[in-house]
Amino acid sequence: MTFFFFMFLVLLIFLLGRYNDDFDDGEDLADFDDNDFAEFEDMNDDLAAEAETAPPPRVSLSSQPDEDEDEDEATVELEDGQDGFDDSETQDQDIYSKYDQEEFEGIGDMEKSSHSTKDPLIIHTVPAHLQNSWESYYMEILMVTGLLAYIMNYIIGKNKNSRLAQAWFNSHRELLESNFALVGDDGTSKEAVSTGKLNQENEHIYNLWCSGRVCCEGMLIQLKFLKRQDLLNVLARMMRPACDQVQIKVTLNEEDMDTFVFAVGTKKAMARLQKEMQDLSEFCGDKPKSGAKYGLPDSLAILSEMGEVTDGVMDNKMVHYIMNHADKIESIHFSDQFSGPKVMQEEGQPLKLPETKKTLLFTFNVPGMGNTSPKDMDTLLPLMNMVIYSIDKVKKLRLNREGKQKADRNRARVEENFLKQTHAQRQEAAQTRREEKKRAEKERIMNEEDPERQRRLEEAAQRREQKKIEKKQMKMKQIKVKAM
């Protein structure tokens, strides 16, 4: 086996030697096999051999004489034994010598640099604003974070207001059901039905309607909580703290309340209500008075149409309620002329007196100054007892004869002042109606097709105008006679 392997190696060496002898001319193996351009390569080899044996030619370059050029004739001779095609650098230098060196600066350096080693690859750093990093999305991150915070605050604030409203209703439900036949009518059905639950107006306002009691048409309870679902409002309350409120409006029957206007509450609330409410501004023109006479704290003030009303309303039990819960009372307002806030119209005052109702208004502040808990809603139960007591108290309160006469004079004075203020407007309205009536009558006459009938209508209109003028003249004569 070893002998055959040795003979195989010898044969392989012999074949390789023959292979090298066949390709001594340096030709490529691929060119040797089936090369279609072999003939042209042989011709090139012959021409190259002739160029080597022939003597080098002498080349003379001369420029044509030119009168405008200052350059002289130049003769370039090649030295013997120098090949014009071997030195490429010399040839390049001769070519560039024809041009102005100052015009083509750096060409030599470019040639040198082309033959020198290539510069290493320089990797530039990508600018920070083009890189994909978290820092490039800080605006988006802030927006998403703010949106998530707003959504979370909305859910938390809405749920808290709902819990507070339910806690208030649970603590007051028994008292309300014992005094009213209907508690929680939502007004959706034709017949009054007691639903026994609060009606949600929005995320921070809950309503409860009660009716079916003696001397009372109905009572509307409105729970006005802070806008805890609004993140901007939450941030604003950090600068200006506020508190939740319970507003109660009781509408009495016409025969169950005498004619008087009375209010008690904080000094700030009384000053604001006197400016905003129509009845307080007209019937309680004096400044709010202190309630120290009745043992009220200095923080509370009283507005009253007459002293008799104050003495009748502020009895011992009422004073007891107010004294024990003065920090929760914002305002208490009794009025037989309640019409709401003043009407501000751009075109002037209304031509009729606003409709009035006999109403009791209560505004209570929930403890906690915004940080209210469901347990704080239970502390408002005594104030609801005060509301029930006030309804019965007002029903029993009656003014004496002098107080009744004074109240009637006040109402006549307010009505007279209103008529004086609106007299010019009523005259303008009457004049407008007369002009419209005349215009309609003229159009009717002009639309008449019969000329004779049209003439008779015009004569009748003239006679009516003449009679009106004569009546006015007669009235003027009678006035002059009476004046004499």
DSSP string over 43-61 = HHHHHHHHHHHSPPPP---
Q: State what percent of residues in the chain have pLDDT above 90.
A: 24
| pLDDT tens digits along 258-270 | 899 999 999 999 9
Q: Residue 193: is its pLDDT beyond 70?
A: yes
Range 125-139 average pLDDT: 68
Residue 215, Cα to own-chain centre: how many angstroms?
46
Q: Which has the closest alpha carbon to 314: 338, 337, 335, 332?
A: 332
Q: Which long-range contacts (CB under 8 A, 24 or more apart) does 156-159 make?
A: 156/228, 157/203, 157/227, 157/228, 157/229, 157/230, 157/234, 158/203, 158/228, 158/229
Task: Report the pLDDT averaged over residues 193-219.
Answer: 87
- The torsion angles phi and psi of 74, rounded to 5 degrees, stand at -130, 140
User: From CA 387, how far away is CA 208, in angstroms rounded?
Assistant: 15
Name the band, by pLDDT with cuts 50, 70 and 90, for residue 121.
Answer: confident
Ramachandran region, residue 26 (left: φ > 0; alpha: ψ -120 to 50; beta: rest): left
Reported in sequence order, the residue ranges of 261-386 that DSSP labels E, i.e. its strands, are 261-266, 289-290, 300-304, 329-338, 357-365
Q: How far apart, in whole angstroms, are the C-alpha atoms of residue 156 and residue 168?
A: 19
Instruction: Give residue 440's pLDDT.
Output: 82
Q: What is the DSSP track for 17-38?
A: HHHHHHTTT---HHHHTT-TTH
Q: Which residues pair with 334 in a beta bridge?
A: 262, 360
- Amino acid of residue 305: E
Q: Output the pLDDT for position 344.
A: 61
pLDDT 10s digits, 391-446:
999 999 988 888 889 988 988 888 888 777 776 776 777 778 878 887 887 787 77
pLDDT at 45: 52
Q: What is the pLDDT of residue 450?
A: 76
DSSP 96-139: HTTS-TTTSTTHHHHHHHHHSPPPPPP-PPPPGGGS-SGGGGHH
pLDDT for 133: 67
**Mean of pLDDT over the chain:** 76
pLDDT of residue 463 exceeding 50: yes
Q: Rounded to an integer, what distance in angstroms lies between the CA atom of residue 325 and that of residue 265?
A: 11
User: Nearest-CA neighbor of 328 among 287, 369, 291?
Assistant: 369
Note the pLDDT tens digit of each residue in 23-40.
Answer: 444 444 444 444 444 444
Which pLDDT value is given to residue 335?
Answer: 92
pLDDT grade, residue 125 (50/70/90)? confident
For 273-323, the pLDDT digits (tens) are 999 898 898 888 888 888 888 888 888 999 998 888 998 899 899 999 999
Q: Which of 11, 42, 47, 7 is nearest to 27 (CA)?
A: 42
- Say yes or no to pLDDT of 3 above 80: no
Most confident of 188-197, 356-365, 469-478: 356-365
Greater confidence (387 vs 457) lies with 387
Return the structure tokens found at 381: 């139960």
Eight-class DSSP state of 277: B
Smallest Cα–Cα separation from 383: which of 334, 331, 335, 322? Answer: 322
Structure confidence at residue 106 (pLDDT): 53
SS3 label, residue 1: coil
- 465: pLDDT confidence band, cut at 50, 70 and 90? confident
Mean pLDDT of the 43-72 span: 45
Per the structure block, which two tokens stand in for 219?
């009572």
Say what the pLDDT of residue 255 is.
87
> What was the pLDDT predicted at 66?
44
What are the tokens at 80? 């013997």
Q: Please calculate the CA angle 164-167-171 and round it to the nearest 5 degrees.
A: 145
Mean pLDDT in residue range 370-385:
90
pLDDT digits (tens, 9 = 90+) for 70-110: 444 444 444 444 444 445 444 545 555 555 555 555 555 55
| pLDDT confidence tier of residue 137, bands split at 50, 70 and 90 | confident
For residues 8 and 353, the model is more confident at: 353
Cα 432 to Cα 204: distance, rounded to the nearest angstrom: 48
Residue with tokens 């009303």: 309
Q: Where are the alpha helices (DSSP H) in 100-214?
A: 107-115, 138-179
Burial class from Cβ neighbours inside 10 Å (0-12, 13-18, 19+) for residue 160 reads middle
Q: Using an 8 Å Cβ cutoff, are 264 and 302 in contact?
A: yes
Q: What is d(CA 330, CA 380) in angstroms, rounded to the nearest whole number? A: 13
